[in-house]
Structure 1
Amino acid sequence: MDRIWENLKNKKALTVFLTAAYPNKERFFEIVDLMAKNSVDVLEIGIPVEDPFLDGETIAKTHEKALENGFNEKELKEILKTLREKYPELMVVIMTYKIGIEKYNLLSMKEYYDALLCPEEALTLENVNLINIYNEEMSLEEIKSRLKYNSAFAYVVSGVGKTGGTEKMPEKYKHTMKVIREISEIPIQIGFGVNKVEDATAVINSGADGVIIGSEFIRKVNSGSDEEIVKFINEMSSAITKAHTK
């Protein structure tokens, strides 16, 4: 836990999602290298499962591709160990469904990642840093219950729905964030629908501690262009920094 606070202290974080071994293992590491060199603070790694039912089409297809390539527990462990050795300053958050935690024996690998996130339900595990998800439809009691086990940062969605939307970003996260702020000092990051510089700026201006980008980043990865990836990261990072220093 100290590692997370020390690396993210006194700054607004840029968290970027990438599915493990996508589009293949070699390219995955090339993309992570671009992230590490261009101001990404947290790498959220999606662990492939056969039915990522809470993800939109863009991310769901990355799960399918990784599984088609033969992704397995051994490969995941190799990836996580390499990330820890090669990029010690990069925070690594694992995002997967309950079946993924079991299928890949993730609790045996916790020395290689900084926190674990499960999108389908709040985890109540001991001896592992957890991230839980919050939205505007949750009661105060449910939010309090989730916060008891949330030891990294609170993942607040911009609005209820699946990942991957390209329309105007919802603003319902502001209500959720306000509720959390009244009962906890935990850092808050906002995800779902953060596609443009204007979205990232609005999130930081609202008082959030970080921005989480998933589907739009995958679209940049799918372009096959390193230049597009770096440009996107730098634009988002710059927007976050400018909004924070206003």
Structure 2
Amino acid sequence: MKKLVIYLTFMYPDEEQFYQTLDMLNDCQVDVVELGVPVLEPYMDGEIIQESHREVLALGLTPANLKRHLEEIRSRYNFEVTLMTYKSGIEYFDILALPEKLYDGLLCVDQFISINDSPRLVQLFNEQMTLDDCKDKLNHSSQFHYVMSGLGKTGTFNHVPTGYQITIPFVRSQSDKPIYVGFGIKTAADVAEVCEHGADGVVIGSHFMALLKHEGLAKARKYIKSLQAVL
């Protein structure tokens, strides 16, 4: 069975609703929740996720609070947890010093992190990377491989790019770890198409966040179920 990874900004939009969303994702048996650790300038993300980062930072999220909530999440839920952030998030929240038992994967989109720094790394791949860069990242990717569907910001695609169809075969030839494709995936048809082209699962963030914000938790649950029916 293919895997579903859902992105959610950490503590968005506030503590109560954040945990309500996690309750729903756990109840729906989502495989992996990618928690976005907020930063001031998440430049690889589109407006919906950028805005969510600003809102959470305005609430005063601290390194101590982040650790405390990760402990709570670990004790309550069955899904795997991947932390996604930027260099500034790694530094401010001192993520490399967190106990490894608190998360299953760590993705930093704008700084290379060695497996010597964290044994639970997720690396990002795209079709414009050189073969040497890809091979180097594969040596430091221990959980799953995150393949971008194409170059661009999250939440800005009108349709799913096809660059991943170049990236997947190379990554597959070098590694037997799962390959999940993200960026621009919205509909069940998108999910089916990406999986037909070799992905082991999909990552969905901006569209889920937009549904959550504008249409609420019940609509987001129905959306999750529609994706799982395809997977």
Total equivalences in the alignment: 229
Contact residue 145 and residue 178 of structure 2 kept, 8 A: yes
> Alignment RMSD, CA only?
1.1
Report what 1:188 is aligned to. 179
Deviation at 1:124, TM superposition (A): 1.0
Provide the identity percentage: 36
Report what 1:74 is aligned to. 64
Report what 2:85 is aligned to. 96
In the alignment, which of 181, 198, 202 is matched to residue 211 of structure 1?
Answer: 202
CA distance in 2, matches of 1:12, 1:82: 27
Deviation at 1:128, TM superposition (A): 2.3
CA distance in 1, matches of 2:32, 2:46: 21
Deviation at 1:203, TM superposition (A): 1.2
Q: Secondary structure at the match of 1:36?
A: helix
Report what 2:162 is aligned to. 171
Deviation at 1:91, TM superposition (A): 0.2
Deviation at 1:165, TM superposition (A): 2.2
Deviation at 1:22, TM superposition (A): 0.3
CA distance in 2, matches of 1:208, 1:198: 14
CA distance in 1, matches of 2:33, 2:169: 26
In the alignment, which of 13, 19, 22 is matched to residue 32 of structure 1?
Answer: 22
Is residue 2:88 matched to residue 1:128? no
Deviation at 1:166, TM superposition (A): 4.2
Deviation at 1:111, TM superposition (A): 1.9
Q: Which runs of 5+ in 1 are unaligned?
A: 1-10, 241-246
Q: Which runs of 5+ in 2 are unaligned?
A: none
CA distance in 2, matches of 1:235, 1:166: 21
Q: Secondary structure at the match of 1:177?
A: helix
Provide, for residues 158-180 of structure 1, a one-character-per-residue CA deviation record: whole Å limited to 9, x for no partner: 00111112401111101100111
Q: One-letter code of the match for 1:164?
A: G
Deviation at 1:224, TM superposition (A): 4.8
Q: One-letter code of the match for 1:191?
A: G
Give the TM-score of the pair, scaled to structure 1: 0.90
Q: Which aligned runs of 4 or more in structure 1 are off by greater than 6 angstroms?
A: none
Give the TM-score of the pair, scaled to structure 2: 0.96
Report what 2:3 is aligned to. 13
